[in-house]
Structure 1
Amino acid sequence: MPIDFNQQIIEEFRANHGRVGGPFEGGRLLLLTTTGARSGATHTTPVGYLPDGDRVLVIASAAGAPRHPAWFHNLKANRHVTVENGTFTYDATATVLDGAERDRLFARAAEADPGWAEYQAKTDRVIPVVALEEIPGPPNVDADTMGGGLKAIHDAFRRELALVRAEIARSGPRVGAQLRVNCLTVCSGLHHHHTIEREHMFPALGEQHPALAEPLKRLQAEHEAIAELLGDLQTLLADDATPADPAALLTEVERLTHELEGHLDYEEEHLIPALDGIPM
């Protein structure tokens, strides 16, 4: 892609917490910063990604061009990269997958989006699949205050659930492997987020703001209700050998979305005023 087009996407991405229009609208996008293999300078590129549990996958398709994209050569020379997903910025280790693992994950991506297979058909090179694994460290939320950070995280869940619902709607008669992973990844993310709130944020707010006792009690109860919905969704997707029915899956995701949206709205109404005074 032309450099000026990339820069436009980067600026829009950062200004809107990961939301962009144009060819990337309605898709999953991250900003990948690599170190130039020759220059040593940093380079940031918008790249589509696929969820894969605790890591994300990026595919060096270059739209089927005969050469690998520059960012791929960079991360092969230096595996330490920076990832921006619109909510968090974090350091990651890039691993170029090979053999059966690469083939399995590329096939999974192509099943979800035939465009990947079309790119592979256009070129003689084997299109690489790269796993980006976060390097443990303090969370770096793209916000100035704790309140802004909470809103950014909530919006990321809203956006992800909207993507999943759209993917289910166009999935056809069976739920593909990548869609299954997308659903399970958002379940894991919600569970992790609620665990942090329950064990850290809620107790601290309850101690500092006694007037929040009733809202926090309600939010705790809603966490339990959402946990049950997450359990139902995970049960539906638990057996890889038995494809889930898209209609049943959509019903479960809609139930979760309805419950979660009300929960997030209530939490923001009552907690953000207290959190907005706390810098990140």
Structure 2
Amino acid sequence: MDFNQQVIDEFRANAGRVGGPFEGGRLILLTTTGARSGTRHTNPLGYLPDGDRILVIGSAGGAPRHPDWFHNLVADPVVQVEDGVFTYDAKATVLDGPERDEMWARAVESDPGWAEYQAKTTRQIPVVALTQIAGGPPNASSWGAALKLVHDAFRRELATIRREVAASGSSLGAQLKVNCLTACQGLRLHHTAEGGGMFLMLRDRFPDLAPTLDRLDQEHESIAALLTGLQQTLDRNDVTTLRADVDRLIGELEAHLAYEEEQLIPFLDA
């Protein structure tokens, strides 16, 4: 419990970044309601991207019993998720049948450690999908800080994907493909929200920003083309091209994010 609290404190103090054994990994804080006590309990958990939802796995290190958080969400499936940028309510669904087996196979393929945990216990390790049902703005003190927070989350995720692609060898794993597609979807949604919301507000309040916003809109189109190319590479299961595509996307996106932050954060915080 002391170790968990240290991880929780570090996570919250560093916008989702945690060192030690979790360095560079995907981590959330999951808060459930105690099935018997009604008390709220928070646990740091690794997760797998899965499009509009995320997956968590009740391995408990291969212990003979399911973890307490799993029993809690079975009793009350409305949980809270913290991902370092947003805090949101989610509905937990325990997967079963072919869907559970498919998600489990993806997890094991991406990290054989899951199979090692399963080998330690006779229980079937559960796979749980968490789907957002309500949420709010980023956990930031200002709109400028919120923009930087969201950007840094994309930076971390793409850096993780770059490492996964580099380690993938000659084959493209199913979970790695989902990771890439989920990141692409997130970037498209973010840029759509910027163009249709934040940029419109800034154009209205700060007319002199028009040339900057025009450039950012053009960069959005360029990045959208890279995302389309990356998705086509994924459809072909072309690992060699994927490495180059990911590097190209990260390079162009990093330049775009840095320029956007430099130009817009002062106005967002004005």
Interval of TM-score (by shorter of Structure 1 and Structure 2): over 0.9
Q: Which of 85, 88, 91 is equivalent to 2:86? A: 88
Structure 2 equivalent of residue 188 of structure 1: 185
Structure 2 equivalent of residue 45 of structure 1: 43
Report whether the alignment pairs 1:140 with 2:137. Answer: yes
Q: Which of 8, 12, 15 is equivalent to 1:17? A: 15
List aligned pairs for 1:259-278, cutoff 5 A: 259-277=252-270
1:213 Cα offset (Å): 1.0
Contact 1:61 1:127 in 2 (8 A): yes
For 1:203 and 1:154, the matched residues in 2 are separated by 19
1:246 Cα offset (Å): 2.1
Report whether the alignment pairs 1:212 with 2:209. Answer: yes
Q: Which of 249, 252, 255 is equivalent to 1:256? A: 249
Amino acid in the other structure paired with 1:48? G
List aligned pairs for 1:104-143, cutoff 5 A: 104-137=102-135, 139-143=136-140
For 1:43 and 1:149, the matched residues in 2 are separated by 27
For 1:105 and 1:64, the matched residues in 2 are separated by 18
Contact 1:64 1:122 in 2 (8 A): yes
1:275 Cα offset (Å): 1.0
Contact 1:112 1:179 in 2 (8 A): yes
Classify the secondary structure of the residue corresponding to 2:31.
Answer: strand
For 2:153 and 2:113, the matched residues in 1 are separated by 25
Contact 1:10 1:46 in 2 (8 A): yes
For 1:18 and 1:74, the matched residues in 2 are separated by 23
Structure 1 equivalent of residue 238 of structure 2: 245
Classify the secondary structure of the residue corresponding to 1:248.
Answer: helix
Contact 1:51 1:185 in 2 (8 A): yes
Q: Which of 60, 63, 66 is equivalent to 1:65? A: 63
Contact 1:112 1:178 in 2 (8 A): yes
In structure 1, stretches of 5+ residues that fail to align are: none
For 1:39 and 1:133, the matched residues in 2 are separated by 25
% identical equivalent positions? 65
For 1:140 and 1:178, the matched residues in 2 are separated by 29
For 1:248 and 1:5, the matched residues in 2 are separated by 41
Contact 1:90 1:140 in 2 (8 A): no
Classify the secondary structure of the residue corresponding to 1:135.
Answer: strand
Report whether the alignment pairs 1:157 with 2:157. Answer: no
1:57 Cα offset (Å): 0.1
1:276 Cα offset (Å): 1.8
Given the two structures, how large is their TM-score scaled by the length of structure 2? 0.98
Structure 2 equivalent of residue 226 of structure 1: 223
Structure 2 equivalent of residue 236 of structure 1: 233
For 2:48 and 2:200, the matched residues in 1 are separated by 35
Q: Deviations for 1:171-207, whole angstroms, at most 9, x for unmatched residues?
A: 1110100000000000000000000001111011011
Q: Deviations for 1:7-44, whole angstroms, at most 9, x for unmatched residues?
A: 10001001111100011111100000000000101000
Q: How many residues align?
A: 270
1:210 Cα offset (Å): 1.3
RMSD: 0.8
For 1:170 and 1:163, the matched residues in 2 are separated by 11
For 1:22 and 1:136, the matched residues in 2 are separated by 31
Given the two structures, how large is their TM-score scaled by the length of structure 1? 0.95
Q: Which moved more, 1:55-64 or 1:128-137?
A: 128-137
Classify the secondary structure of the residue corresponding to 2:122.
Answer: coil
